[in-house]
Structures are given as structure tokens and as C-alpha cells.
Amino acid sequence: MSQIERVAIVGGNHGNELTGIHLVKRFQQYPNLINRASFETLALLGNLKAIEEGKRYIDKDLNRCFTNQGLQNQQLSSYEDTRAKAIQQILQPQNQPFVDVIVDLHSTTANMGLSLIFCDLHPFLLRLGAYLSSINPMVKVFVNQQSREGGFLRSLCELGFVIEVGAVAQNILNAELFQQTEQLIYAILDYFEGCNQGNIPQRNSTLTLYQYIETIDYPRSDAYGGEIQAMIHPQLQFRDYEPLNPGDPMFLTFEGKDILYEGESTVYPIFINEAAYYEKGIAMYLTQKQQEVV
């Protein structure tokens, strides 16, 4: 693994996720918190106008605007498309290489604890995940290889990843989760520093991770514009990363009828009932739990 020379910490890709926004503002005010001897760290706010207005986005989801095609298309003129091109320029100034690592800070209304989201099974990231989960059992690792093509900010560099923290409501700060996220960031930066200095911190030899299977939508009617017909079942709500077995209740209709999980094997739902995903037609992600030797 070559030396890490530049790290970007980005908050506020979604303007109503305050944890990352205020952490980045803190780091901008006190850069010594994120400075390390062997690499440069940049703290960057993402969707400036959405942050100002307290909205997830202005015209479209900024965190879907980082496709190669979109970044190269000068005809795309929405605020988020323009901001995505500006962020790319900040992350790769003229005559400089792209940042080595992007740490994209997000919060969620789902009970995700401290989640690391990777685009693939990159050995360096898996070792990082193993180390962080060994020092903090709240840390979980979710791998979504389909997201490499989804226009996510983290997909811009090989070592890009997300810290997803919850449950916390939109436009709300939770002091405990704020502090836990801050400490996790310092642990990540210290790990990079150790790697650069040839002193890789001790870690578990195996990592428990959750691999993406599919997304599940809410039951919807054919009429009324596809209006939802059921809610997340009370027995499933806030049970992210817990097993969902065939026959377990999954949804509850407005008439009080259980809708059961009909899959053939146990899965582990995450992003359960995420508020921002209603518009995307996502009630939860299903994952499989597996062990990876790192």
C-alpha cells in the first residue's frame, strides 16, 4: 500500500444531516484536530445551499451526481450538478493528484449505529474496518458493490467510504452520536498515520461484514399514484443489523395485517425506515452477514 498523502473529510452532502456538517465546521475552525504529520487533511462542506436552507438537496440528490458522465457533461446545470463539478475540482486541484481517501459523513434516521459503507472489498478498507470494529463494537461494516456506479461521492477514489450514523432525526443533533463520530474520525486518521509510518495498528484477523443483496420497497397500491399500503412492522423497527428470518413480520398494513418476510434464508436488514428513502422507493436494504479474513 502506497503512502496516503491527502485525505478529504466531507460533511453536508445532504444539507439536513447536521452531524457531519458541524463536525466539518469544527475541523475547519480547529484544523489541528485532524492534522497528522504524514498527510494533509481537508475538511469540506458539500451541498452549501442545501445546508443554508436546511434541506436534503435543492434540485436533486448531490450524492448521486458524481458519475463520470455527469461530471463531464457541461449541459447539466442544476445546483447539485454544478456543485459536484466544483467539489471534484477541490478534491483534485490543478496539477495535483486526486485525494487518496474520501471520508463522507452522513447521518440516518435508521438505527445504524456507527456504520462504515464501502464500495467494494478493498483489502486496505477491510483491514481498517476490522481495526475499528475491534476497538469499538458499535462499528459495523456494510459493503455495497453496486454503489460504485451510483454517482456517490465515495466512488470518486479507490479508498472512498461513508460513515453513516444513526438513529438521529433530520435537522437534529445528537450529542452522543456527534462525539462518537468525532472519536471514530480521529481513530481513522490515527490508523492512516500508523500505516504511513509502517506501524499498522493491531486488528482482528477476521471481519464481520454485511454484504448488499437488494433493496425492498414498501407495499404499494396500483391506484393513488402508488401510495404505500403498509408500514415497517413494530417488531422490525430499529432492528438494523439483526436477523430477519423467513416468516418473520416485515410490514404492517393500515388495517393491522402482518406482511411476512417470504425469503428462503435469514437476512439482515439495514436502513430500515430511513426517512430520506421514502421518495426513492426503499423501505430497507437486505444484506447477508459474512466473515472475511483480512
Question: Quick check: 263 pLDDT over 70?
Answer: yes
Question: Quick check: 224 pLDDT over 70?
Answer: no
What cell does 97 get?
493528484
Question: Quick check: 242 pLDDT over 90?
Answer: yes
Q: Could you tell me which of 92, 148, 106 has the C-alpha nearest to residue 125?
A: 148
Question: Quick check: 120 pLDDT over 90?
Answer: yes
Strand order in the sheet with 113-118: 40-45, 6-11, 101-107, 161-166, 113-118, 139-143, 206-216, 284-293, 268-270
What is the tens place of the pLDDT at every residue in 72-96?
998 998 999 999 999 999 999 888 8
The whole-number pLDDT of residue 225 equals 67
Task: Output the CATH code of domain 209-293.
Answer: 2.20.25.160
Can you name the residues that pair with 207 across neighbouring β-strands? 292
Question: Quick check: 162 pLDDT over 70?
Answer: yes
Phi-psi region of 292 (alpha: psi -120 to 50; beta: other; left: phi over 0): beta
CATH class of 6-204: alpha beta
The whole-number pLDDT of residue 2 equals 83
| Helix residue ranges, H only, the chain | 18-29, 48-53, 68-72, 79-91, 123-135, 175-196
What is the tens place of the pLDDT at every residue in 2-20?
899 999 999 999 999 999 9
Q: Could you tell me which of 152, 151, 125, 149 has the C-alpha nearest to residue 139?
A: 125
The DSSP code for 153 is G
> Beta 284-293 vs 206-216: how paired, if at all?
antiparallel
Phi, psi of 141 (to 5 degrees): -120, 125
Average pLDDT score over residue span 277-282: 96
Question: Quick check: 114 pLDDT over 80?
Answer: yes
Cα separation of 267 and 12, whole Å?
A: 31
The whole-number pLDDT of residue 55 equals 98
Alpha-carbon distance values, 143 to 30, 61, 119, 243 (Å): 32, 21, 6, 17
Q: Could you tell me which of 242, 9, 294, 265 has the C-alpha nearest to residue 124?
A: 294
What is the tens place of the pLDDT at every residue in 176-195?
999 999 999 999 999 999 99
Torsion angle defined by CA atoms of residues 37, 178, 240 and 139, in that order, rounded to the nearest 10 degrees: 30
Instruction: Look up residue 51 and give its amino acid.
Output: I
What's this model's pTM, rounded to 2 decimal places? 0.96
| Domain segments of the chain as ranges | 6-204, 209-293
Residue 84, Cβ density class (10 Å: 0-12 exposed, 13-18 middle, ≥19 buried) = buried
What cell does 126 get?
477491510
